[in-house]
């Protein structure tokens, strides 16, 4: 199958998920954040890419103690297909993780599985290039699974628990429902659903609200 055909197939799958109709209650609204491609680095890999003893420079605070760093890297897939200027998120982690959209995976020529963050066993291999060096990851590239972040107080208000799977309905843009959405609960989390750029484009979302449906 040619690259454009794969992209069209991905778009069709997204649109198919938007056909369900559910009743929305204003009190069940959830803000939506669109997660673009990004990279989490281990300290060892950070130093390989940027130099010995290197530390990330914070650009913007995110939830849960994370932040967007000033640093960017290049992702290289098969046959030297590359995506440049991919943002690094801090702080450093135990294992390097690359998060891309399904369309990005097609562009890179890799078979990245849909996973929650941290579930990297058997994920796709890629190469990362920085200003001081490069690393090859035997595994570590995923398509981030859509999910909702909540504090324990938010979870109690919505009547859900950690790891519960829900649906989220959207009325703006093209409208539709996304199913199989895990809830992740932690005191450090702000209320926000995370979707990737493919899902946002399929739903016609910019800065919209979704409605949680159990």
Question: Quick check: 106 and 135 in contact, CB under 8 A?
Answer: no
Determine the CATH number of domain 21-34+146-213: 2.40.40.20
- With CA atoms as reference, report the closest residue to 208 among 29, 27, 63: 29
pLDDT at residue 171, rounded to an integer: 84
> Which tokens go with 127?
């190469």
**Cα gap 30→148, rounded to integer Å:** 9
**Cα gap 86→132, rounded to integer Å:** 16
Going from the C-alpha of 116 to that of each of 74, 135, 211, the distances in angstroms are 22, 23, 21
pLDDT at residue 28, rounded to an integer: 79
What is the SS3 assignment for 150? strand
**Which residues of the chain carry a pLDDT beneath 70?**
1-2, 6-7, 10-26, 173
pLDDT at residue 120, rounded to an integer: 97
Q: Where are the domains of the chain?
A: 21-34+146-213, 36-144
pLDDT at residue 12, rounded to an integer: 67
**Cα gap 68→165, rounded to integer Å:** 28
Question: What pLDDT digit, counting tens, does each position of 74-109 carry?
Answer: 999 988 899 999 999 999 999 999 999 999 999 999
pLDDT at residue 101, rounded to an integer: 96
**Cα gap 190→188, rounded to integer Å:** 7
pLDDT at residue 95, rounded to an integer: 97
What's the first-to-final CA gap in the chain, in angstroms? 37
pLDDT at residue 21, rounded to an integer: 47
Burial of 153 (0-12, 13-18, 19+ CB in 10 A): exposed
pLDDT at residue 176, rounded to an integer: 86
What is the SS3 assignment for 57? coil
Q: Supply the pTM of this predicted model.
A: 0.83
Question: Quick check: 176 and 18 in contact, CB under 8 A?
Answer: yes
């Amino acid at each position: 199958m040619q690259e454009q055909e794969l992209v069209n197939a991905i778009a069709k799958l997204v649109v198919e998920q938007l056909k369900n109709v559910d009743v929305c209650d204003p009190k069940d609204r959830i803000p939506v954040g669109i997660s673009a491609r990004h990279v989490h680095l281990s300290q060892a890999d950070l130093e390989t890419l940027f130099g010995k003893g290197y530390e990330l420079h914070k650009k913007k605070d995110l939830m849960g103690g994370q932040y967007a760093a000033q640093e960017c890297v290049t992702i290289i897939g098969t046959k030297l297909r590359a995506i440049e200027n991919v943002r690094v998120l801090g702080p450093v982690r135990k294992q390097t993780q690359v998060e891309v959209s399904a369309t990005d995976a097609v562009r890179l020529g890799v078979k990245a599985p849909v996973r929650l963050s941290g579930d990297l066993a058997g994920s796709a291999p890629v190469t990362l290039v920085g200003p001081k060096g490069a690393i090859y990851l035997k595994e570590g590239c995923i398509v981030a699974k859509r999910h909702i972040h909540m504090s324990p107080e938010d979870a109690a208000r919505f009547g859900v628990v950690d790891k519960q799977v829900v649906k989220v309905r959207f009325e703006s843009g093209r409208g539709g429902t996304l199913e199989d959405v895990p809830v992740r609960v932690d005191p450090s989390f702000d209320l926000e659903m995370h979707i990737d750029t493919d899902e946002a484009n399929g739903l016609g979302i910019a800065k919209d609200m979704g409605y949680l449906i159990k």
